[in-house]
Amino acid sequence: MTIPEQRLRAFTHSIFKSIGCPDADAALATDVLVTADLRGVDSHGVARLSGYVRLWETGRLNAAPQPRVVHETPTTATVDGDGGLGLVVAPYAMDIAIEKAKQYGSGWVAIRHSNHFGIAGYHALKAVAQDMIGYALTNASPLVAPTFSAERLLGTNPICYAFPAGKYPPVVVDMATSAAANGKLEVAARAGKTIPEGWALTTHGHPTTDAAAVKNGGALLPLGSDRSHGSHKGFGLSATVDILSGVLSGANYGPWVPPFVAYLQPLADQPGEGIGHFVGAMRVDGFRPVADFKANMDQWIARFKDAKRVDERQPVIIPGEPEYEATHVYREKGIPLVEAVWDDLQQLAAKLGVAPLMAEGMAQNR
């Protein structure tokens, strides 16, 4: 199924409105999700919509939050997200970081008492639009085992840095700190395939190629996979994300980060509130003239694109470039949805009394 962008936006907006989101919040949350789909990051797009709704149904999501600054210096702040959608709270925080950067050169905001914020790249790119370098992190429910542990203690805790360029699209490094995303295991499991060693452990902490390992209580591995290939580095990065997002903000961290899926209960005795994010912005012209930086970025990008290839058919991929190209294609041709997501969205619409989604070519007024 392929859905025109505007139609997917209108539908998503209606869903968020139907659970009580104010109009502006619904528009913002929609923009974050549909931007993920436009960028081809379909694991973080409207496929998650029913998950957010289920969290709201269990009372763990405030559809009309009043996020507020609870601690502040000229260039730092902590935001309490009032239990709202991270899709709404993180842009609120990033706007504060950008305002601080306009005034003082940089701005950094830790966020607590929030929920899943969608793709990190959305938030970091808000800074790029102002000729700033953008930074966005979030912790997430525990799925990843630290090096030498058989226990899930960290989320896939993504890191995003986004840099403006000149004639090229922005460079956007937006990456989970695990070796593989859980979604890749789910795809392999549905296809009845095994997974490479180095992605996951069994519940006993042994290497496995079983795609159902994590679903059955095992753990994802940090980037680096095993000690000899640097998994302690992936663990260190994930720990950094957890500390900046969770410990610094007063959110939960480690095994206490509340699960995204509504059927799992948060642990008792939580040390903080909700999940945590961390966002930041630095003005490029806080360091050098923007035109000079962009000219050098263009040279950097051109040189890496021109790198000697291992396989002549496969050039080096500049981080963020495939997502930028996907956006152009999907804007024009519509956004593809897999059947499971399509069905899920239609059931969601029926449940909430929202008009069903129409695919490309379907009559809009049936």
Q: What angle do CA 69, 73, 77 make, to 5 degrees?
A: 35
324 binds a second copy (CB under 8 A): no
Residue 327: Cβ within 10 Å count: 17
Question: Which C-beta is closer to a second copy: that of 198 or that of 266?
Answer: 198
Closest contact distance (angstroms) between CB of 230 and a second copy is 5
Interior/surface letters 253-290, b for 16+ CB within 10 angstroms, e for the rest: bbebbbbbebeeeeeeeeebbbbbbbbbbbbbeeeeee
- Letters for 13-42 (x = contact with a second copy by CB under 8 A, - = none) are ------------------------------
85 binds a second copy (CB under 8 A): no
Q: Are 340 and 50 in contact (CB under 8 A)?
A: no
Report the site for a second copy in 207-236 (rule: CB under 8 A): 223-225, 228-230, 232-236
Closest contact distance (angstroms) between CB of 136 and a second copy is 13
175 binds a second copy (CB under 8 A): yes
Report the site for a second copy in 151-170 (rule: CB under 8 A): 151, 153, 159, 161, 163
Pairing of strands 106-114, 76-80: parallel
Stretch that binds a second copy, among 23-31, 120-128, 147-155, 331-339 (CB under 8 A): 147-155
180 binds a second copy (CB under 8 A): yes
Stretch that binds a second copy, among 11-19, 118-126, 142-150, 209-217 (CB under 8 A): 142-150
Burial-class residue 167 by CB neighbours within 10 Å (0-12, 13-18, 19+).
exposed
Question: Which C-beta is closer to a second copy: that of 223 or that of 348?
Answer: 223
> Which residue in 126, 188, 249, 257 binds a second copy (CB under 8 A)?
249
254 binds a second copy (CB under 8 A): yes
CA end-to-end span of the chain: 17
Distance CA 257, CA 23 (A): 29
